[in-house]
């Protein structure tokens, strides 16, 4: 609940109180008409009737009610509608996910289930502010990123596959021959001319990992960066791999204090299966560190910039991986810990010079 009060309540008694209420949206934004009717009836009775479906990063937003109605609204939501308030303030905000496996053939993980599980697991953090600033989970079932988690969440989960893209060579030939429309027919509103697999798919691959050998499509999967373009263009010919999981990225945020930033890759691949124990272990290590070390109104991405990515990886007990590094160092100063140096700080300089002649 976000408190809104008028500065001149005597002059404008009708809006002396105009509180905003955030309501936890269902995972994947699935509603029944019955549930929507109950929400509308409750808000018409207890509030202004004005709604916002949804807020910019989730939540059903109810605009305008008075203080005496707040406890009544909370009771109705939790006891009769079997839902909850969303997050507001320096706490966990309402987790959000795409439709995942319920509707999408590209989804590598059950995005809805992970979103729901995290919502239930960390419900206390939604209601009892314990963080330096707000914190958001978002779950994308695949790299198409339908909830844009890489840009809008402090900790984003993006479904990936670890093995090779599955290829149906007969379907590839059907696309080339014009028997199947590319992009699942999405661009069929006008005549774009004959489909050219080189021009429209292969030449647009960002890592140049695809080529044709005669009528056979070849992919060097070790170079694939999961951009999804080829799979989107040829959905009946190309499918995600079978060994699936997700990547975890940390620190995306809007430009409030320190400018906008995208999520930084911290876990290139992790299995994503209930009860998600390994994922939750990493989350709790991060929460413990950030609650202790984060400054007031400092998002976790800004904390990471301040203390360094390596410190975050240490806190979460993750090994440094080349895929995590965005670019090589631009200065020569590398600081070693004593346990990382053979012989420690007390090794004899003569031994070093015997192996490295001056």
CATH (domain of 214): 3.30.70.20
Q: Where are the alpha helices (DSSP H) in the chain?
A: 33-46, 67-79, 111-121, 123-127, 149-152, 169-176, 197-200, 229-233, 277-293, 300-307, 309-315, 349-355
Task: For residues 248 and 100, state if they share a domain.
Answer: yes
Q: What tens digit of pLDDT does each residue of 253-266 get? A: 988 777 889 999 99
Digit-coded pLDDT (tens) for 49-73: 999 988 777 889 999 999 999 999 9
Q: What are phi and psi of 3, to 5 degrees?
A: -70, 130
Two tokens at 254?
């809007």
According to the model, what pLDDT value does residue 358 have? 65
Q: Look at residue 57 in the predicted model and tell me its pLDDT.
A: 72
Decide if 287 is inside a domain: yes
Task: Pick the last residue of a domain from 28, 49, 81.
Answer: 81
Task: Say yes or no: 74 and 213 in one domain.
Answer: no
Contact 246, 159 (CB under 8 A): yes
Are 256 and 123 part of one and the same domain? yes
Do the domain assignments include residue 105?
Answer: yes
CATH code of 137's domain: 3.30.413.10
**Cα gap 189→167, rounded to integer Å:** 27
Give the structural domain span for 21: 13-81
The reply to whether 134 and 150 lie within a common domain is yes
Among residues 230, 241, 223, the alpha carbon closest in space to that of 197 is found at: 230
Residue 70 domain-assigned (yes or no): yes
Identify whether residues 77 and 215 lie together within a single domain. Answer: no
Q: What is the largest CA-CA distance in the chain?
A: 88
CA-to-CA distance for 110 and 207, rounded, in angstroms?
28
The number of beta carbons lying within 10 Å of the beta carbon of residue 64 is 18
The model's pTM: 0.88
Q: Which residues pair with 160 in a beta bridge?
A: 245
């Amino acid at each position: 609940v976000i408190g809104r009060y008028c500065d001149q309540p005597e002059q404008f008694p009708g809006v002396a109180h105009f509180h905003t209420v955030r309501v936890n949206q269902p995972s994947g934004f699935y509603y029944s008409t019955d549930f929507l009717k109950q929400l509308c009836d409750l808000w018409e009775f207890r509030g202004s009737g004005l709604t916002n479906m949804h807020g910019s990063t989730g939540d059903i937003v109810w605009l305008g009610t008075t203080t005496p109605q707040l406890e009544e609204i909370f009771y109705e939501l939790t006891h009769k509608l079997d839902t909850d308030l969303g997050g507001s303030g320096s706490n966990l905000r309402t987790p959000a996910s795409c439709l995942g496996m319920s509707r999408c053939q590209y989804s590598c993980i059950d995005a809805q289930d992970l979103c729901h599980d995290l919502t239930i697991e960390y419900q206390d953090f939604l209601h009892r502010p314990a963080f330096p600033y707000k914190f958001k989970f978002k779950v994308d079932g695949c790299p198409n990123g339908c909830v844009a988690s890489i840009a809008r969440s402090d900790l984003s989960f993006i479904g990936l596959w670890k093995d090779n893209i599955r290829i149906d060579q007969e379907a590839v030939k059907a696309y080339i021959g014009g028997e199947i429309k590319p992009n699942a027919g999405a661009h069929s509103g006008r005549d774009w001319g004959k489909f050219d697999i080189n021009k429209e798919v292969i030449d647009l691959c960002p890592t140049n990992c695809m080529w044709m050998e005669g009528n056979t499509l070849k992919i060097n999967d070790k170079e694939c960066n999961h951009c999804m373009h080829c799979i989107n263009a040829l959905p009946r010919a190309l499918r995600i791999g079978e060994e699936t999981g997700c990547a975890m990225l940390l620190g995306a945020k809007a430009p409030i204090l320190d400018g906008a930033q995208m999520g930084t890759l911290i876990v290139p691949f992790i299995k994503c299966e209930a009860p998600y124990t390994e994922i939750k272990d990493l989350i709790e290590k991060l929460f413990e560190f950030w609650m202790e070390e984060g400054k007031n109104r400092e998002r976790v991405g800004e904390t990471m910039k301040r203390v360094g990515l390596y410190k975050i990886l240490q806190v979460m007990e993750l090994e440094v991986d080349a895929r995590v590094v965005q670019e090589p160092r631009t200065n020569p100063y590398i600081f070693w810990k004593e346990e990382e140096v053979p012989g420690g700080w007390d090794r004899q300089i003569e031994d070093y010079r015997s192996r490295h002649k001056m």
